[in-house]
Structure 1
């Protein structure tokens, strides 16, 4: 049997979606919420999968150091990079794909969480990125196949 906990972290960031063809191709920002779902097969002597404060410190530190109050861009978006380099100071983070909410969740789940949680006995099974109060995307690891599944829900547009 496994147990799952969730920790919510808030951060602010800007992004643009290369080749979007609509409004999201412009630089804009969001007050994001990231929900980290973490699972463990056993509890520590106190009864925890991982201490919530440890999970918060790991995830929030990474987000603060890399994405908070910065811009997320596709690594191939030379136009965005050139524009951002003109602004001083300016932080930006290059992602291997467009920084959609889906891809942000996927990146955190597959690239960031495994390293941060190494040695804790806990593993990330899902990340949900809230882009607005009504819209989120979620990447999760399917319990049976071990495959990563990405889904989006947009309550206002359904």
Structure 2
């Protein structure tokens, strides 16, 4: 039996979507919320999969150091690199793809979480990124194949 816990992390970041064709191609920011769903097959002596404070330290620590109050950009976005390079100080995190909510959830699940949770006995199985109060995207591990599945719920009119 797998037990699942969830920890919510809030952070602020800016981004722009390369080749979006609409207003999201402009630099802008969001007050994001990231929900980390973490599972473990065993419990410690206290009965926990992982202590909530340890989970927070691991995932929020990474977000604080890399994404919070920074700009997330696509690795091919030379215009963004040049523009943000002129701003000092400037925190820029380069992603291998567009920083959509879907791709942010995917990156946190596939790239960040395995490293952040290494040695904890727990693993992230789902990450949900709330871009607004009405819109989120979610990446989850397919329990059968181990592949990442994407789910996105976007508000009407955005």
Q: TM-score range by the shorter chain?
A: over 0.9
CA distance in 2, matches of 1:81, 1:155: 30
Number of residue pairs the alignment of both structures matches: 158
How far the C-alpha of 1:48 sits from its partner, in A, is 0.1
How far the C-alpha of 1:98 sits from its partner, in A, is 0.1
Contact 1:135 1:156 in 2 (8 A): no
How far the C-alpha of 1:155 sits from its partner, in A, is 4.0
Q: Deviations over 1:101-150 (max 9, x none)?
A: 00000000000000111111101000000000000000000112211101
Question: Unpaired segments of 5 or more residues in structure 2?
Answer: none
Tell me how large the CA RMSD over aligned residues is. 1.1
Q: TM-score, normalised by structure 1?
A: 0.98
Aligned residue in 2 for 1:109: 109
Q: TM-score, normalised by structure 2?
A: 0.98
Question: Unpaired segments of 5 or more residues in structure 1?
Answer: none
CA distance in 2, matches of 1:75, 1:147: 24
CA distance in 1, matches of 2:63, 2:36: 12
CA distance in 1, matches of 2:118, 2:93: 23
CA distance in 1, matches of 2:53, 2:156: 33
Find runs of 4+ consecutive structure 1 residues off by over 4 angstroms. Answer: none
Q: Superposed, which structure 2 residues align to 1:2-151 within 5 Å?
A: 2-151=2-151
